[in-house]
Structure 1
């Protein structure tokens, strides 16, 4: 069940991060102030919606997949909150400084670290759901 849950959440993540993320959200989700937080939270909300839809579709279509509603709600809040935090960009930059990866950061590495952090959050959400 973990694998099914993870795949569903990952597909929801990919949809929210790529085809459903607006240019405005991508450009401003890390900005300071109200406009930045607004873009960031709208983008995180898209993640909650797409991952929720993926879980609902999976629960409806896959006979062996049962999802606890309280666990699903907690997992979706976790996904939205961690996505909003990671997408402020300073956590990834801080990690890359700590890991002494500034050169890689200047050559596109931050996008890979960003996606790895998001996938880790999805793995934890899928583990929570599988254990519930």
Structure 2
């Protein structure tokens, strides 16, 4: 069940991050104050909705019996971690404190950002599998 969950959550992430994220969200989600948080939270909510729909689809098609409260907790985790990671400063902090500061200027932050998102999704899949 873990592999199925992880795969569906990853597909949900790709759909929400690339196919459904607006240009406005991508450009402003790390901005200061409410002008940054509003598009950030709208984008994170898209992740919650898409991943929630895929979990429901998995439950119907694959016969999963996901308890409601753990599923909601996993979706909250996905939305919250996505919102924090997308503020961009956590990724930049990580890179500057782990010896990767030079890689930032060469596009490395996008890779670290995606790795952080996938790690958070795997935590959610492990939680739901337990």
TM over 0.5: yes
Q: Secondary structure of the residue that 2:30 maps to in structure 1?
A: coil
Gaps of 5+ in 2: none
Return the TM-score normalized by structure 1: 0.97
Return the TM-score normalized by structure 2: 0.98
User: Counterparts in 2 of 1:1-132, with a 5 A limit?
Assistant: 1-63=1-63, 65-131=64-130
Q: Distance in 1 between matches of 2:17 and 2:38?
A: 16
How many Å apart are 1:68 and its aligned residue?
1.3
1:6-58 C-alpha deviation (Å, 9 max, x unpaired): 01111111000000000000000000011110000000000000000010011
1:77-117 C-alpha deviation (Å, 9 max, x unpaired): 00000000000000000000001111111101000000000
Runs of at least 4 residues off by over 4 Å: none
How many Å apart are 1:67 and its aligned residue?
1.2
Q: Distance in 2 between matches of 1:26 and 1:9?
A: 20
CA RMSD of aligned residues (A): 0.6
Aligned pair count reads 130
